[in-house]
Every structure is written in structure tokens, then in C-alpha cells.
Amino acid sequence: MHNIFPNKIVSALIIFLAILNIILWSAYSSRGRELRKVQDTVANIEHSRNILAFQKLFVDKVLKSDGVVDYDTRRELEQSVGRTNDDAVISAWNAFLSAKTEDEGQVRVKELLSVLAERAYQGE
């Protein structure tokens, strides 16, 4: 009868290394899942932070302003809304910009603020 591994020490070492390899692979894959979870959470936080930064800028520069918003402020708002990378926020912003009357503008502001609050706390 021929043994695959003639030496018992070598056989035990190979079995030990195989088991160790399985355990290490399992731990590695578990850490990878945890890392992806953490990366997703960080991305959600960054997304919400960008939306809240735009919301604060909008309130400070538009809602609290006494007159017409100047070009530099509008450009700053455009850049800030672009940083949100959120189609719903950008769409609500564009709807606000396209308002023709003051009444329509007020409705669009409410819609924009509603979208901002929803998207900032939605976590997407």
C-alpha cells in the first residue's frame, strides 16, 4: 500500500496549512465585506453632507437675501448643487430657476427644500 504522504509530520503540516488557508481566506473575505459596507456608509455621509452644504448656502444666500442674487452667488450655488451629484436635487434646482412668476417661484422653493431634506436624510 502506497501512502500519498509517507511522512506523518509532512501530512499533518499539509493538513494544518490547508485548514489555516481556509480560515484566513474566510477572515479576508469577511473584512472585504466590512470594508465595502464602511465605504458605502462614507459615500452616503459625503453625499448627505454635500446636499446639506447646498441647502445651507441656498438658505443663506437666497432666502435670507434682501434683493436680487448676484452672478457670483448664483455661480457658487450652481457649483454647490453640482457637487451634490443628485439628479432629484439638480432637477428641483432647475425647476426653481425656470419659475416665471413669484408665486411659481415660492412653490418651487418649497419643492426644492422638500427634495433637499428628503435626499439628505434618505442615505442614497
Q: Per the domain annotation, does 1 fall within a domain?
A: no
Question: Is 3 part of a structural domain of the chain?
Answer: no
CA dist 104 and 19 (Å) reads 69
The model carries a pTM of 0.74
**Domain of residue 31, residue span:** 8-122
Report d(CA 4, CA 14) in Å as an integer.
Answer: 12
Query: How many structural domains compose the chain?
Result: 1
Domain membership flag for residue 12: yes
The predicted pLDDT at position 66 comes to: 84
Average pLDDT across the chain, whole number: 90
Percentage of the chain surpassing pLDDT 90?
73
Residue 111 · residue 94 · CB < 8 Å:
no
